[in-house]
Amino acid sequence: MSIREINLQNEQQEALVKEENHVVPMMDDEDDDDDDLDGGWGWVVVFASFMVHVLADGVTYSFGVLTTEFISHFGASREAVGWMASILVGMTLSAGPLASILCNKFGFRTVTIIGSFISAIGFCAPFFYPEFWFLYFSASVISGLGFGLVYLPSIVTVSIYFKRKRAFAIGLAVCGSGIGTFVFSPLIEYLIETYGWRGTMLIVGGLIFNCLACGAVYRPKKSYEDSISMCSSSMSSICKANLNNGINVKSLMKHSLHHKNHHHRSSESLARVYQSVTNVTMSPSKIDASAYIYSAPDMQRMIHSTHAFKTHVKKPILKVSHPHLLISSQISLQLSHLRKDLFIHEVHRKSETSVPLSETGKESVFSSAEIKGCIQDVFDVELLKAPVFILFALSNFFTSIGFNAPFLYAKDRALQMGIENNQASFLISSIGIGNTFGRVIFGYLSTKSFINRLNLYNTSLLISGIVVMLSSYAITYFWMIVYTLGFGLLTGTYVTLTSIVLVDLLGIEKLNASFGMTMVAQGAAVFIGPPLAGWIYDITFSFDWSFFVCGAFLAISGLMLFLVYCSKDYRKHGTSQKNQS
């Protein structure tokens, strides 16, 4: 081939690339990536998450209203019925790692819908089979599992849609828990008087079904999915038109995909674009082997040199007449403007999975390698080696031990002190009211640059523990309202800022795994806290010591987190996170 013919062919190549290039969607500016953050559809997601908390947490924290009916109907002891509430909360929290695995695999929308269906069925089923043992299995275990699948994605999805206003948005979403506690307690009492406990379970189950609609709005960004489809289609047409003319695939891929502000969002996008390149029938006689063909080891090094595409190639990428030769199709991507949101660790996990990329080597969606990768991400061994995370998980364990005592025993304690039943019942609603305001207020404060979120979190837990420890001095109804409101207000940080502080300490790419593992610690503590408080009461015949011990756990949980500042990991990573926020 003469030099003139080569130049003519190169000119044809460049013209064809320019003609096709306008079809490929590109991200032109970093600001475009944040257009959907801190507003827009994100507020719809916040409202949906708010309603999920109203329904799920409202039912959970008001479950004790049903215990009196269970005792009178089945003749069960208070201890046996009390374990139902503990199992319900414990299962909800312990399901965190499972929810993380399923979210990584199927997405937040699907997992929320499935969890809503499971929890609703768990409440409806006892209407048709009203046996005491079945209540344990259905209303506590099954519904708790369903709530666990709903709870985690409802928190994390809000984090995805917000950046600067993330803490405030989460505060608005989780304040539904306090409102739900305030609303469902009298609602369940009314339903029991009108329809009995069986009808109440059926109606409450029907209300929980509304979480399906809330989960449906946890949608992925449509514009991005459309861009992936367009990019895959365009790349396929470019390659099919050019490979038979001896086009340099490396140059073509670099010209079409290499962009100074190109944003990598998902390993799926790379796989689909890559597949569009590899599923092409070529004529080897039209390929200039000396310029465009590389050996398998060279190809491996080139693939591993990219930042976004780390797939370990086990099979030939393209079928060619020479088995030891592979066409280089290195994808060059710049990640300098990449926003490290929650999905980044999933991108890396999926891209590091060994995927055969030839035509016939398609990996199963439910492959053992991918499932293993999901589990490894959720049970992140590296987190267990991080002193900061261990300290935070232990703190949450202590917090959860002391957190539930006022919810469970504030009413009984007031009755023991001679307060009327209606006034004593309102103390639980008082906690819910304070908790609602606390979540909004502390969520808003945490968005301010002059507020240290870790200090805010630690101090609130410390003071809330002191309030519970000193609650024995609240001998009048007025001061009982004061301490329950104060407890609810201060513990508003517990749910609102848990995920925010995890991001500050470990980074948002670790949020899914760290939040799921933290929920395990919380769930284990739920099985300890209420029985411990009851055991102390059985020994002392007074709730004062029960509240004092539970308050001490709360205070210790806040105090111990100040040790985080002594960690090298926090000084290195936490400072950078603070600067980014």
Residue 373 binned pLDDT confidence (cut-offs 50, 70, 90):
low
Over residues 190-204, the mean pLDDT reads: 90
Q: Mark 446-469 as b/e (b = at least 16 C-beta within 10 Å).
A: bbeeeeebbebbbbbbbbbbbbbb
Q: 379-421, pLDDT tens digit by residue?
A: 677 788 888 889 999 999 999 888 887 887 887 788 888 888 7
Cα distance from N-terminal residue to C-terminal residue, the chain: 59
pLDDT surpasses 60 at 523: yes
- What lies within 8 Å, CB to CB, of 27 at 6+ separation is 33, 259, 261, 262, 263
pLDDT at position 569 is: 64
Asked whether this chain's domains 36-220 and 380-581 adopt the same fold, the reply is: yes
Q: 418-453, pLDDT tens digit by residue?
A: 888 778 878 888 888 888 888 788 878 888 888 888
- Tokens in use for 332? 């060059």
Question: Do residues 118 and 140 lie in contact, with contact meaning Cβ atoms separated by under 8 Å?
Answer: no
Residue 496 binned pLDDT confidence (cut-offs 50, 70, 90):
confident
pLDDT at position 51 is: 94
Q: Domain limits of the chain? A: 3-33+221-378, 36-220, 380-581
pLDDT at position 462 is: 94
Beta bridge partners of 327: 293
Fold of 380-581: Growth Hormone; Chain: A; (1.20.1250)
φ/ψ bin of 121: left (φ > 0), alpha (ψ from -120 to 50), beta (otherwise): alpha
- What lies within 8 Å, CB to CB, of 489 at 6+ separation is 434, 435, 437, 438, 441
pLDDT surpasses 50 at 489: yes
Percent of the chain whose predicted confidence (pLDDT) is above 70: 62
pLDDT surpasses 50 at 241: no
Residue 234 binned pLDDT confidence (cut-offs 50, 70, 90):
very low
Instruction: Tell me the three state secondary structure of residue 110.
Output: helix
Is CATH 1.20.1250.20 what the domain over 36-220 is classified as, yes or no? yes
pLDDT surpasses 90 at 469: yes
Over residues 445-466, the mean pLDDT reads: 90
pLDDT at position 36 is: 56
Over residues 521-528, the mean pLDDT reads: 84
pLDDT surpasses 60 at 28: no
- What lies within 8 Å, CB to CB, of 328 at 6+ separation is 249, 250, 292, 293, 294, 298, 299, 302
pLDDT at position 259 is: 45
pTM for the full model? 0.61
Mean pLDDT of the chain: 71
φ/ψ bin of 402: left (φ > 0), alpha (ψ from -120 to 50), beta (otherwise): alpha
Cα 78 from Cα 90, distance rounded (Å)? 18
Cα 112 from Cα 566, distance rounded (Å)? 38
pLDDT at position 101 is: 82
Q: Report which listed range, 274-288, 494-508, 543-557, is most confident.
A: 543-557
Q: Report which listed range, 42-56, 285-299, 339-353, is most confident.
A: 42-56
pLDDT surpasses 70 at 173: yes
- What lies within 8 Å, CB to CB, of 433 at 6+ separation is 178, 182, 485, 488
* 538 compared with 284, residue with greater pLDDT: 538
- What lies within 8 Å, CB to CB, of 224 at 6+ separation is 265, 266
pLDDT at position 193 is: 84
Q: 332-371, pLDDT tens digit by residue?
A: 333 233 333 333 334 333 333 333 333 444 445 555 666 6
Distances (CA, A) of 464 to 12, 102, 395, 434, 536: 73, 35, 14, 12, 21
Q: 297-334, pLDDT tens digit by residue?
A: 444 444 444 444 444 444 444 444 443 333 333 333 33
Cα 254 from Cα 235, distance rounded (Å)? 12
Residue matched to tokens 């406990």: 197
The most distant pair of C-alpha atoms in the chain lies apart, rounded to whole Å, by 105
Angle at 359 between CA 358 and CA 360, to 5 degrees: 95
pLDDT surpasses 90 at 463: yes
Q: 269-286, pLDDT tens digit by residue?
A: 444 444 444 444 444 444
- Which of 155-169, 181-195, 297-311, 420-434 bottoms out in mean pLDDT, i.e. has the lowest? 297-311
- Tokens in use for 489? 């207000």
Question: Do residues 54 and 226 lie in contact, with contact meaning Cβ atoms separated by under 8 Å?
Answer: no
Over residues 3-22, the mean pLDDT reads: 53
Q: 117-136, pLDDT tens digit by residue?
A: 999 999 999 999 888 889 88
pLDDT at position 264 is: 45
pLDDT at position 86 is: 82
pLDDT at position 168 is: 78
Cα 564 from Cα 392, distance rounded (Å)? 8
Identify which of 363, 362, 380, 364 has the alpha carbon closest to the alpha carbon of residue 101: 380
pLDDT at position 14 is: 57
| CA count, 13 A, side-chain hemisphere, 265 | 18
Cα 263 from Cα 273, distance rounded (Å)? 14
Other Cβ atoms closer than 10 A to 566: 11
φ/ψ bin of 555: left (φ > 0), alpha (ψ from -120 to 50), beta (otherwise): alpha
- What lies within 8 Å, CB to CB, of 215 at 6+ separation is 48, 52, 108, 109, 111, 112, 113, 115, 116, 150, 153, 154
Cα 265 from Cα 160, distance rounded (Å)? 13
